[in-house]
A and B are shown apart, each in its own frame.
Chain A
Amino acid sequence: MSNDWPLYEVFIRSRSGLEHKHVGSLHAADAAMAVEHARDVYTRRQEGVSIWVMRSSDIVASDPTDADALFEPARDKVYRHPTFYAIPDEVKNL
């Protein structure tokens, strides 16, 4: 085991109404300490109103080599976007 405290990922909600966003990581011995560290490290300039932390080791991520299989299939589904449909200009509120 490492001598250092485990790594946590930090997510900050910058103001109410917005989602939490990943801002970086830090080391802490426990979750409570991670929240305090996140406050001290990532919100020194009023960057946040809410903090999430989670152990980095608990994150499961996709593999970039799978990107084609995961994300390419969405590419030709242009009909999911409003601009796919031609509507005469004189029709309003659509």
Chain B
Amino acid sequence: MSAASRSITPGPVQSAHCRYLLRLGDTSLVLGQRLAEWVGHSPALEEDLGLANLSLDLIGQARLLLSYAGELEGQGRDEDALAFLRDAPAFLNMTLAEQPNGDFGRTIVRQCLLDAWQLEVYAGLADSSDRRLASIAAKAIKETRYHFRFSSGWLVRLGDGTEESHRRVQEALNELWRFTTELFAADEVDDALAAAGVAPGLAELQPRWSARIDEVLQEATLVRPAPVPYQWHGKRGVHTEYLGHVLAEMQHLQRTYPGAQW
């Protein structure tokens, strides 16, 4: 990391294109960081390996997306400068990604909702006018298909498992559902990128996501919660309290030893 890149503030005005990449990259990064908390503590040894694989894929996506965002920004910030030296308001991840793991059921609900979202986003990016982003999405969608298979498979098992497991995942679903509105609430960044043919329009993605989720919920014998108004704005840098703690932990070494190489 260069010395010039060590700014804590959100930094220069970023283009919509750059901010869009940060939304995707930060979502993958924060979700990957959350999943990694499970490693060594999962309900079964096999699940430790499964969750670690998901986490590794997501961190890999984050690296590609953040590196690209850093180049577009043009301030000399690489993937690590962006990951470790931005404070919470400069992170643009979906609010859902930063929500705590809770029990395994809650982690699976969060994962399934976001996997289904990423599936649509990455599929939509396949014909992006931005060829580099299209190729990142082409790689990521293969990973995401597996993630969705994993998370939806588990959601069905837990929903249609025991009384206790059903209750737990239904509660988690009710609790996390409010963050799904943000996934499809288009703002000026989304609109600008859709207009430029870089990103798919979020309005088109929503029905497909919704149908996919409904299918899983039905098989899992879970009830889809009522819609909740859009109140959470992680993708605009306004987060829940959780993100600050995630970052405090993640950025500990880079913050404590400024400028050191690792």
Instruction: Name A's B-contacting residues (CB within 8 A).
Output: 5, 26-29, 32-33, 36-37, 39-41, 44
A42: min CB distance to chain B, Å: 10
A51: min CB distance to chain B, Å: 13
Q: Is the CB of B46 within 8 A of A28?
A: yes
Q: Is the CB of A41 within 8 A of B153?
A: no
On chain B, the number of residues with a Cβ less than 8 Å from chain A's Cβ atoms is 11
Please, how many angstroms separate the alpha-carbon atoms of A33 and B150 in the complex? Answer: 9
A56: min CB distance to chain B, Å: 15
A-side contacts of B46, CB under 8 Å: 26-28, 33, 37, 40-41
A41: min CB distance to chain B, Å: 6
Instruction: Name B's A-contacting residues (CB within 8 A).
Output: 44-46, 49-50, 53, 146, 149-150, 153, 157
Q: Is the CB of B150 within 8 A of A5?
A: no
A10: min CB distance to chain B, Å: 11
B241: min CB distance to chain A, Å: 33
Q: Is the CB of A32 within 8 A of B153?
A: yes
A48: min CB distance to chain B, Å: 14
At the interface, is chain B mostly helix, strand, loop or mixed?
helix
- Chain B residue nearest to A32 (CB atoms) is B153
Please, how many angstroms separate the alpha-carbon atoms of A40 and B154 in the complex? Answer: 15
Q: Is the CB of B149 within 8 A of A36?
A: yes
Q: Is the CB of A36 within 8 A of B153?
A: yes
Please, how many angstroms separate the alpha-carbon atoms of A28 and B157 in the complex? Answer: 12
Q: Is the CB of A37 within 8 A of B50?
A: yes
B-side contacts of A27, CB under 8 Å: 44-46
B58: min CB distance to chain A, Å: 15
Q: Which 9 A-B pairs have the closest CB atoms?
A: A37-B46, A40-B49, A40-B50, A40-B53, A41-B49, A26-B46, A36-B150, A32-B153, A41-B46
B130: min CB distance to chain A, Å: 29
B137: min CB distance to chain A, Å: 22
A-side contacts of B45, CB under 8 Å: 27
Please, how many angstroms separate the alpha-carbon atoms of A42 and B6 in the complex? Answer: 41
Please, how many angstroms separate the alpha-carbon atoms of A41 and B49 in the complex? Answer: 7
